[in-house]
C-alpha cells in the first residue's frame, strides 16, 4: 500500500460483480483519478460452474479486465478460504459488489480493515432480492433507483451510503429498467468512492443511515414457471408480466394443457371486436405460418399477437424456430385454446 507519514494515499478497491452492473461499476472505477486503485476483479462467471451464467456482456466485462491489466480472480466463492487468503494478500480497504449470487457469511463481513459495499438496483428497503428490475414492473412502481449500502447479515439489509431515484415509464421492460439502473450506478460511483476515500484516508466521518426495515419488501429469483400466462388476467396484467420477465424468462402457455409454446416476440393490439366475440380468453383466433398467430384476451377486441415462438415436444424439448415454422401448420390452428392455470 502506498503511504506517507500521514498514512495511505491510495484507496484500494476489489470488485466482485456480474453482467451489466458489474461492468458498469468497473468502468466507473477505472475513470477515477489514480488515487483509486482496483486491486482485482472477481467475476461471477469465473467461479467453478460460472460459465452456465454466461451472457454476451460477460465478454465485454472480461475484455475490460484484461485491457486494464487487472488481476482476474478465480476462486470457489467469496465465502471460501481462498478468497480470505486473497483479502489478506492484497489488503483492499473496500470490497465493492455488483450483482452476486452468494450471501456473505460473518467471517467475510467482519474481515478487519475492509468496508464491504453492495450496489443494489432498487430504492432499499423496497425490492430486496435477486431481480428488482422485474419486481418493480410487476408491482407497478412509478420509480425505482440504485442504492449503495454496507453489506450486513441477510439480503440487502445494511445501512445506506448513497441512494438515487430512477423514474419509470408505463412501457418499461426488465431490460430497459436494468439499463436505467446501470447508467445511474455508473454515474454514482465517483460520489460514493470520494466519500469512502475521505473517511478511509483522511478520517472524515462516514455517513450512513440504517434502513427502515418496516418498509422492506423482498422478491425471490425468477423461475421458469413465473412465465406461465393466465388468460383470465387483464391485458394490462399480462403485459406487465411479459415486459417484467424480459429478457430472463420467456412467457409461455400450453395448448389444452399438453403442448407448451414459448412466446419470444409478442405485442398487444386491438382488432375488430367481432373477431373475438364468443371466443374464450386464450383461444387462437388467427394463425399464419409466416406471420404468427393471435390469441383472444378477456377484453373484447384485445388480442396478443405472437410473431416469434417455440413449440415443445413432450413439454421438454423445444424445437428450433425454423422447425417451428415448418411444423406449426400441423401443430397450431385457429380455434385451439391455450390452458389457464
| pLDDT tens digit sequence for 104-128 | 999 999 999 999 999 999 999 999 9
What pLDDT shows up at residue 140? 97
pLDDT(312) > 90:
no
Residue pair 119/97 in contact by the 8 Å Cβ criterion: yes
pLDDT(211) > 70:
yes
What pLDDT shows up at residue 1? 52
d(CA 239, CA 268): 7
What pLDDT shows up at residue 315? 60
Dihedrals φ, ψ of 43, to 5°?
Answer: -85, 140
Q: How far apart are the first and last CA of the chain?
A: 60
What pLDDT shows up at residue 36? 96
Query: Would you place residue 287 in the very low, low, confident or very high pLDDT band (cuts 50, 70, 90)?
Result: very high
What pLDDT shows up at residue 7? 58
Residue pair 143/160 in contact by the 8 Å Cβ criterion: no
pLDDT(320) > 90:
no
Q: Which of 77-81, 103-107, 330-334 has the lowest mean pLDDT?
A: 330-334
Query: Would you place residue 324 in the very low, low, confident or very high pLDDT band (cuts 50, 70, 90)?
Result: confident
Q: Tell me what percent of the residues of the chain surpass a pLDDT of 90.
A: 81
Mention every residue, 6+ apart, whose C-beta is less than 8 A from residue 297. 231, 234, 235, 238, 268, 276, 281, 303, 304
Greater confidence (317 vs 135) lies with: 135
Average model confidence (pLDDT) for the chain? 93
**Structure confidence by residue, pLDDT tens digits, 157-171:** 999 999 999 999 999
Q: Please name each of the domains of the chain with its CATH number.
A: 3-219 (3.40.50.170), 224-339 (3.10.25.10)
What pLDDT shows up at residue 314? 67
What pLDDT shows up at residue 101? 93
d(CA 296, CA 303): 5
CB atoms within 10 A of CB 120: 28
Residues in the chain: 341
What pLDDT shows up at residue 252? 93
User: Mean per-residue pLDDT for 150-156?
Assistant: 96
**Structure confidence by residue, pLDDT tens digits, 14-51:** 999 999 999 999 999 999 999 999 999 999 999 998 88
What pLDDT shows up at residue 255? 86
All three cell numbers of 129: 432480492
pLDDT(6) > 60:
no
Task: Please report, for residues 15, 142, 149, 195, 235, the alpha-carbon distance to residue 206 in angstroms, rounded to integers and kept in the order given.
Answer: 20, 31, 12, 7, 48
pTM: 0.93
What pLDDT shows up at residue 289? 85
What pLDDT shows up at residue 206? 95
pLDDT(4) > 60:
no
What pLDDT shows up at residue 191? 98
- Is 81 exposed, middle or buried (CB count within 10 Å of its CB: 0-12, 13-18, 19+)? exposed
pLDDT(182) > 90:
yes
Query: Would you place residue 290 in the very low, low, confident or very high pLDDT band (cuts 50, 70, 90)?
Result: confident
pLDDT(196) > 60:
yes
Query: Would you place residue 317 in the very low, low, confident or very high pLDDT band (cuts 50, 70, 90)?
Result: confident
Amino acid at each position: 500500500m502506498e503511504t506517507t507519514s500521514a498514512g495511505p494515499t491510495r484507496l484500494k478497491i476489489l470488485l466482485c460483480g456480474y453482467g451489466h452492473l458489474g461492468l458498469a461499476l468497473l468502468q466507473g472505477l477505472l475513470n477515477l483519478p489514480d488515487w483509486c486503485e482496483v486491486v482485482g476483479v472477481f467475476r461471477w462467471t469465473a467461479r467453478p460452474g460460472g460459465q452456465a451464467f454466461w451472457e454476451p456482456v460477460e465478454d465485454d466485462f472480461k475484455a475490460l479486465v484484461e485491457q486494464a491489466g487487472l488481476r482476474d480472480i478465480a476462486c470457489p466463492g467469496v465465502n471460501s478460504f481462498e478468497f480470505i487468503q486473497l483479502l489478506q494478500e492484497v489488503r483492499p480497504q473496500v470490497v465493492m459488489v455488483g450483482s452476486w449470487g452468494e450471501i456473505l457469511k460473518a467471517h467475510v463481513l467482519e474481515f478487519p480493515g475492509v468496508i464491504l459495499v453492495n450496489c443494489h438496483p432498487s430504492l432499499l428497503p423496497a425490492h430486496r432480492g435477486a431481480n428488482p428490475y422485474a419486481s418493480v414492473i410487476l408491482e407497478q412502481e412509478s420509480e425505482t433507483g440504485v442504492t449503495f449500502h454496507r453489506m450486513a447479515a441477510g439480503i440487502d439489509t445494511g445501512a445506506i451510503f448513497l441512494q438515487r431515484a430512477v423514474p419509470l415509464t408505463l412501457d418499461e421492460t426488465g431490460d430497459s429498467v436494468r439499463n436505467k439502473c446501470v447508467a445511474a450506478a455508473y454515474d454514482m460511483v465517483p460520489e460514493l468512492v470520494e466519500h469512502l476515500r475521505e473517511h478511509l484516508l483522511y478520517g472524515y466521518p462516514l455517513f450512513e443511515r440504517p434502513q427502515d426495515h418496516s418498509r422492506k419488501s423482498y422478491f425471490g429469483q425468477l423461475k421458469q414457471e413465473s412465465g406461465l400466462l393466465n388468460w383470465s388476467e387483464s391485458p394490462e396484467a399480462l403485459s406487465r408480466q411479459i415486459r417484467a420477465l424480459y429478457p430472463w424468462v420467456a412467457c409461455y402457455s400450453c395448448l389444452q394443457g399438453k403442448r407448451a409454446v414459448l412466446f419470444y416476440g409478442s405485442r398487444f393490439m386491438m382488432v375488430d371486436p367481432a373477431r373475438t366475440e364468443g371466443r374464450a380468453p386464450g383461444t387462437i383466433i388467427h394463425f399464419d405460418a409466416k406471420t404468427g398467430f393471435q390469441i383472444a384476451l378477456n377484453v373484447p377486441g384485445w388480442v396478443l399477437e405472437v410473431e416469434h415462438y417455440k413449440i415443445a415436444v413432450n413439454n421438454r424439448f423445444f424445437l428450433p424456430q425454423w422447425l417451428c415454422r415448418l411444423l406449426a401448420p400441423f401443430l397450431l390452428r385457429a380455434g385451439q385454446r391455450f390452458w389457464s392455470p
